[in-house]
């Protein structure tokens, strides 16, 4: 293809798209408009940078500054924020360093990513209120921590990002309050599994307030004050981690079709409903293999993969994206927490006949040092198709969830999972893998289960 | 089924069979003849018991002594060694505590396990020469170690058991020589992968002699001497880890059909060619899903599973065993080493058009502490079906191999593997999982590769 490919967004999806397009067509002009001062940084690494486990913000960059322009011939424009799109005229409007500009395109990829959900609460404009998605914000926050100016912090939201932030702040000696509107943590887990995470968070001294709303942030004299459930308390900073929405204002405003979560709908080649406009990354709702339809699950691996597909196809090559199964892991203090496919709640919401089977296995041979319980929940049709899995444990959880993710892509029944020939050695696994134990129990589980008591042992 | 089920062998397979049979039929008489003094012990835990990581031999028992008789009503006879089988008369001959006896059966399960291969070398009858498969031998060896009577030891064989034994002895301060007839370690890995293990073994000060044969063990005065390559050297003990053969003398002698490795052939319900005689565990050659035929790969998980199937079916229930893919992991000093499916050498020996694709990925996000290289070799049809995988690394290898094992059971092509939605979080994985990187490279790899240099970086 001759001409110019413009990419809105220089995150994981946008830079994967740019690189893929360049590989397909060395002569294509590739322009990336990135609103922040950094491209292709590891957003997921921000909590570890704040905690001090990662020393410098630059360590989170996938490539050194200058790499894309110098080594790949990509016209990466930083501090360039797209503001409008005219799909009929094939023009993108943007503002760079305070000046409005426009750029025509032959093909466009929208990879604008996700934007933090900011609740409509007075006072969130205070400079000590952060949403932690941009590297610049993380650097400012780290500066406050390094200067010893944060004794007490409020985190709004007890989803995985909120809990990662709470852990990072606690690691710096900060006294942390987490306020969550829902009566439980981690809404992307089933409640009995989330209860194990809640216990871990409390065990580490986090002041976790469930069913609690922040109603205002205000200044009293020089002191910042957060009002939770009508009561004001001084805090040195507030981190808002109340969820992420797809950043689709520009594309949707230009008429691109949207789906779940307001995210852009795309086909398996990442084409939106607008001609010659593709989309990738956290702003799309890609195909979910278990649901059989689009889903909004903004996560890094799919951002990279969909970016690559969008860039390849936009540049005239051929590639397809098969879909996601919604696999995610997170470290919450000493716990590894993994999920893939659908939770029981998600399966029920989708109208599927689903049950959950819970077992507790061991991470290693019972006699081997370091062996720890692994809690496994399998969500499945009664005695039939695997729909999802959740795992929680102090040892060896993260990569175990990938077996279930692979089984989901294969469309396995629970007895296919029970038949798996999985690895065994005392330092790494018991002879009966927890997931195999769970699958054996699931294969016998043909009736809807009685609900587990909240906080009960799985 | 009324009557008596006799099981030869009280290892993992035999006791799984006994328990499964009891669950199917509470009235069935179940007799287990076990040659040693222990049933259902974790043979794979012996190296960790010798190393002192596991304190007592009893910790390796899956159940306390007396459990099977008292809690499950299984007539477990210890020190009872089967010596003959008359399938026409349905009689097993055995010796218990020095006395010959016989026992009639309605159904028989042969779960005699594996027997160490002992090369025909003079002197291997010396009491300080060990094969480490029976718990009694391990206890005697541990006694010598605890008494500080072992300064120098010879391990014969550099397969996974030999290397585990070398590591265990080295952990006790013993100076260890490993003599291996082949010019390489770990014959169940491809040579370039095995070279990484060899490097690790040498790095830990093991005197590894490849292409070296032990020709004699002798006493000079009170001193034990091992003759390697014609040269005698004093040693305090010798461990023979020269491989395992199927213990099929009795069943094969009675006419049961055998296959690869001389192991018993069984159908998917664990029936041998003899009427009402079943077999399970390390003495059988079960169906291999990648080879499409029987294979001898004696490992614990399949022993448990085939035992359960044999016991269920022998007691009148229904169960089938789908097959193995040959998944195994081993810890060799600081390395995790995993394999599943076929190596390139195995695939070529089976007449398959196969190539290998090697990549080196990372175990965690590159900026996260503890991130280490993960070497991945995928064996596959050129651009097509996955045939096997091997992985080596210092971090996070063991459970990663299970993704490949699951993909093999699903019959995935390499581009199915590349499309997997695997878990990502900086503490646990890079955004591009090593196995996904390898699968992407494999999908592009359509021609036979030039051989890798020995010892070369993968």
**DSSP per-residue letters across B238-251:** EEE---EEE--HHH
Q: Which chain B residues are closer than 8 Å to A410 by Cβ?
A: 406-407, 409-410, 412
Question: How does residue B65 score in pLDDT terms, banded at 50, 70 and 90?
Answer: confident
Q: Is B40 on the interface with A (CB under 8 A)?
A: no
CA–CA dist B225, B214 (Å, integer):
11
Asked if A201 and A261 sit in the same domain, the reply is no
Asked if B48 and B134 sit in the same domain, the reply is no
**Eight-class DSSP state of B27:** T
Asked if B298 and B383 sit in the same domain, the reply is no
C-alpha pair distances (Å), A18 with each of A4, A41, A66, A246, A315? 11, 15, 14, 20, 9
Q: What is the pLDDT of residues B381-415, one digit of tens each?
A: 998 999 999 999 999 999 999 999 999 999 999 99
Q: Which chain A residues are closer than 8 Å to B398 by Cβ?
A: 396, 423, 425, 427-429
CA–CA dist B126, B220 (Å, integer):
12
Number of domains chain B contains: 3
Identify the three-state secondary structure at position B349.
Answer: helix
Task: Tell me whether residue A262 is exposed, middle or buried, using C-beta atoms within 10 angstroms of its C-beta: 0 to 12, 13 to 18, 19 or more.
Answer: middle
Structural domain includes residue B452: no
CB contact under 8 A, A400 and B399: yes
* Mean pLDDT rounded to a whole number for chain B: 94
Among A287, A314, A341, the domain boundary falls at A314
Query: Are the C-beta atoms of A192 and A458 separated by less than 8 Å?
Result: yes
Segment B173-197 mean pLDDT: 97
Pick the residue from chain B with its C-alpha nearest to A62: B366
- State residue A62's pLDDT score: 87
Q: What is the pLDDT of residues B328-376, one digit of tens each?
A: 999 999 999 999 999 999 999 999 999 999 999 999 999 999 999 999 9
Query: Are the C-beta atoms of A326 and A160 separated by less than 8 Å?
Result: no
Among A242, A268, A287, the domain boundary falls at A242
Q: Is A53 on the interface with B (CB under 8 A)?
A: yes
CB contact under 8 A, A398 and B429: yes
CA–CA dist A309, A305 (Å, integer):
6
**Eight-class DSSP state of A187:** T
Return the percent helix, strand and coil in chain B, to nearest 5: 30, 30, 40
CB contact under 8 A, B299 and A424: yes
Write out chain A's pLDDT in tens, 458 residues.
Answer: 579 999 999 999 999 999 999 999 999 999 999 999 999 887 899 999 999 999 999 999 988 888 999 999 999 999 999 999 999 999 999 999 899 999 999 999 999 999 999 999 999 999 999 998 889 999 999 999 999 999 999 999 999 999 999 999 999 999 999 999 999 999 999 999 999 999 999 999 999 999 998 999 999 988 999 999 999 999 999 999 999 999 999 999 999 999 999 999 999 999 999 999 999 999 999 999 999 999 999 999 999 999 999 999 999 999 999 999 999 999 999 999 999 999 999 999 999 999 999 999 999 999 999 999 999 999 999 989 999 999 999 999 999 999 999 999 999 999 999 999 999 999 999 988 999 999 999 999 876 654 443 433 44
Task: Tell me whether residue A241 is exposed, middle or buried, using C-beta atoms within 10 angstroms of its C-beta: 0 to 12, 13 to 18, 19 or more.
Answer: buried
- State residue A43's pLDDT score: 87
Query: Are the C-beta atoms of B340 and B404 separated by less than 8 Å?
Result: yes
Structural domain includes residue B124: no
CA–CA dist A434, A372 (Å, integer):
11
Q: Is B262 on the interface with A (CB under 8 A)?
A: no
Packing angle, helices B300-314 and B12-24, rounded to 10: 30
Asked if A359 and A216 sit in the same domain, the reply is no
Asked if B354 and B427 sit in the same domain, the reply is yes
Structural domain includes residue A319: no
ipTM of this complex > 0.85? yes
- State residue B383's pLDDT score: 85
Share of chain B above pLDDT 90, in %: 92
Q: Is B421 on the interface with A (CB under 8 A)?
A: yes
Query: Are the C-beta atoms of B124 and B226 separated by less than 8 Å?
Result: no
CA–CA dist A86, A80 (Å, integer):
17
Q: Is A301 on the interface with B (CB under 8 A)?
A: yes
Q: Is A425 on the interface with B (CB under 8 A)?
A: yes
Q: What is the pLDDT of residues B90-121, one digit of tens each?
A: 999 999 989 999 999 999 999 999 999 999 99
C-alpha pair distances (Å), B424 with each of A306, A337, B288, B366, B397? 15, 11, 32, 12, 15
Pick the residue from chain B with its C-alpha nearest to A13: B431
CA–CA dist A306, B149 (Å, integer):
62
Query: Which of these is catalytic: A1, A44, A181, A365?
Result: A44
Pick the residue from chain A with its C-alpha nearest to B333: A427
Nearest to A367 among B59, B399, B406 (CB): B59
Asked if B61 and B154 sit in the same domain, the reply is no
Structural domain includes residue A322: no
CA–CA dist B58, B230 (Å, integer):
41
Total CB pairs under 8 A between chain A and B: 205
Cα B155 from chain centroid? 17
Nearest CA-CA distance, residue A310 and chain B, Å: 15
- State residue B275's pLDDT score: 97
Q: Read off the tokens for B344.
A: 């390139």
Query: Are the C-beta atoms of B376 and B336 separated by less than 8 Å?
Result: no
Residues facing residue B109 across a β-bridge: B7, B278
**Eight-class DSSP state of A61:** B
Q: Which chain A residues are closer than 8 Å to B434 by Cβ?
A: none
Provide the domain limits for residue A390: 328-444
Query: Which of these is catalytic: B23, B42, B44, B276?
Result: B44
Counting every residue, how long is chain B? 458
Asked if B440 and B333 sit in the same domain, the reply is yes
Q: Read off the tokens for B174.
A: 């013993």
Query: Are the C-beta atoms of A85 and A251 separated by less than 8 Å?
Result: yes
Structural domain includes residue A412: yes
Query: Are the C-beta atoms of A132 and A41 separated by less than 8 Å?
Result: no
Asked if B238 and B249 sit in the same domain, the reply is no
Nearest to A399 among B12, B60, B396 (CB): B396
Packing angle, helices B160-171 and B191-203, rounded to 10: 10
CA–CA dist B81, B9 (Å, integer):
8
- State residue A448's pLDDT score: 60
C-alpha pair distances (Å), A172 with each of A8, A150, A167, A191, B83? 36, 9, 9, 30, 68
* Whether B44 is catalytic: yes
Question: How does residue B143 score in pLDDT terms, banded at 50, 70 and 90?
Answer: very high
B278 closest CA partner among B253, B249, B308: B308
Count CB-CB contacts under 10 A for residue B218.
13
CA angle A65/A70/A75 to nearest 5° reads 85
Identify the three-state secondary structure at position A126.
Answer: coil
Structural domain includes residue B456: no
Q: Which chain A residues are closer than 8 Å to B401 by Cβ?
A: 423
- State residue B179's pLDDT score: 97
* Site from A421, A426, A431 to mutate, B interface, most B CB atoms within 10 angstroms: A421
At a CB cut-off of 8 Å and minimum separation 6, what does A450 contact?
none
B267 closest CA partner among B223, B306, B213: B306
CA–CA dist A55, B285 (Å, integer):
54
Q: Which chain B residues are closer than 8 Å to A405 by Cβ?
A: 420-423
Asked if A79 and A152 sit in the same domain, the reply is no
Nearest CA-CA distance, residue B349 and chain A, Å: 22
Q: Which chain A residues are closer than 8 Å to B340 by Cβ?
A: 421, 423
Count CB-CB contacts under 10 A for residue B147.
8
Nearest CA-CA distance, residue B328 and chain A, Å: 5
Q: Which chain A residues are closer than 8 Å to B46 by Cβ?
A: none
Nearest to A426 among B42, B365, B399 (CB): B42
Query: Are the C-beta atoms of B227 and B134 separated by less than 8 Å?
Result: no
Q: State the number of CA atoms in the 13 A half-sphere of A325 facing the CB.
A: 29
Nearest CA-CA distance, residue B218 and chain A, Å: 35
Q: Is B319 on the interface with A (CB under 8 A)?
A: no
CB contact under 8 A, A44 and B429: no
Counting every residue, how long is chain A? 458
Query: Are the C-beta atoms of B146 and B174 separated by less than 8 Å?
Result: no
Pick the residue from chain A with its C-alpha nearest to B327: A423
Q: Is A317 on the interface with B (CB under 8 A)?
A: no
Structural domain includes residue A323: no
Among B314, B341, B368, the domain boundary falls at B314
DSSP string, B364-422: S-TTSTT--EEEEEEEESTTSBEEEEEEEESSS-GGGHHHHHHHHHHT-BHHHHHT---
Nearest CA-CA distance, residue A254 and chain B, Å: 31
Asked if B52 and B111 sit in the same domain, the reply is yes
Query: Are the C-beta atoms of A266 and A279 separated by less than 8 Å?
Result: yes
Lookup result for tokens 């496994």: A376
Q: Is the pLDDT of residue B42 over 60?
A: yes
Q: Read off the tokens for B300.
A: 């614990």
Pick the residue from chain A with its C-alpha nearest to B12: A431
CATH number at residue B147: 3.50.50.60
C-alpha pair distances (Å), A156 with each of A149, A161, A169, A183, A195? 20, 10, 13, 13, 19
Structural domain includes residue A184: yes
- State residue A1's pLDDT score: 59
Q: Is B331 on the interface with A (CB under 8 A)?
A: yes
Asked if A14 and A106 sit in the same domain, the reply is yes
Return the percent helix, strand and coil in chain A, to nearest 5: 30, 30, 40
Question: How does residue B451 score in pLDDT terms, banded at 50, 70 and 90?
Answer: very low
**Eight-class DSSP state of B41:** B
At a CB cut-off of 8 Å and minimum separation 6, what does B395 contact?
B336, B363, B364, B370, B371, B372, B374
List the 361-400 stretch of A: residues with Cβ below 8 A of B.
365, 367-369, 396, 398-400
Asked if B78 and B23 sit in the same domain, the reply is yes
CA–CA dist B446, B434 (Å, integer):
20
Question: How does residue B327 score in pLDDT terms, banded at 50, 70 and 90?
Answer: very high
């Amino acid at each position: 293809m001759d001409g110019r490919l413009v990419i809105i967004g220089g995150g994981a999806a946008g830079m994967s798209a740019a690189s893929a397009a360049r590989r397909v067509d060395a002569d294509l002009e590739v322009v990336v408009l990135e609103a922040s001062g950094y491209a292709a940084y590891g957003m997921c690494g921000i909590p570890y940078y704040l905690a001090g486990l990662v020393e410098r913000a630059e360590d989170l960059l996938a490539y050194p500054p200058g790499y894309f322009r110098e080594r790949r011939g990509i016209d990466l424009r930083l501090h360039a924020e797209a503001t409008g799109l005219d799909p009929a005229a094939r023009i993108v409007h943007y503002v760079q360093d305070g000046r409005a500009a426009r750029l025509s395109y032959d093909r466009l990829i929208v990879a604008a990513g996700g934007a933090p959900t900011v609740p409509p609460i007075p006072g969130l404009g205070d400079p000590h209120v952060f949403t932690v998605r941009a590297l610049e914000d993380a650097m400012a926050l780290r500066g406050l921590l390094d200067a010893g100016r944060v004794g007490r912090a409020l985190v709004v939201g007890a989803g995985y990002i909120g809990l990662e932030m709470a852990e990072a702040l606690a690691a710096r000696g900060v006294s942390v309050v987490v306020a969550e509107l829902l009566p439980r943590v981690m809404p992307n887990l089933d409640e009995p599994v989330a209860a194990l995470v809640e216990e871990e968070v409390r065990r580490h001294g986090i002041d976790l307030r469930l069913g609690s709303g922040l109603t205002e942030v205000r200044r009293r004299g020089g002191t910042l004050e957060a009002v939770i459930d009508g009561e004001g308390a001084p805090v040195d900073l507030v981190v808002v981690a109340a969820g992420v929405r797809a950043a689709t204002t520009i594309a949707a405003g230009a008429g691109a079709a949207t789906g779940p979560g307001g995210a852009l709908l795309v086909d398996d080649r990442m084409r939106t409903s607008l001609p010659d406009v593709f989309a990738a990354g956290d702003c799309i709702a890609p195909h979910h293999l278990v649901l059989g339809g689009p889903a909004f699950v903004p996560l890094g691996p799919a951002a990279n993969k969909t970016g690559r597909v969008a860039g390849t196809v936009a540049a005239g090559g051929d590639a397809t994206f098969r879909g996601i199964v919604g696999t995610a892991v997170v470290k919450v203090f000493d716990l590894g927490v993994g999920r893939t496919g659908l939770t029981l709640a998600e399966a029920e919401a989708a109208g599927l006949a689903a049950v959950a089977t819970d077992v507790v296995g061991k991470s290693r041979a019972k006699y081997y040092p370091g062996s720890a319980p692994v809690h496994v929940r399998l969500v499945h049709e009664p005695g039939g198709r695997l729909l999802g899995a959740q795992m929680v444990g102090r040892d060896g959880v993260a990569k175990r969830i990938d077996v279930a993710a692979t089984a989901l892509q294969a469309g396995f029944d629970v007895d296919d999972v029970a038949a798996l020939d999985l690895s065994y050695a005392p330092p790494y696994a018991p002879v009966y893998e927890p997931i195999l134990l769970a699958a054996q129990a699931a294969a016998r589980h043909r009736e809807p289960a009685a609900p587990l008591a909240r906080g009960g042992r799985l």
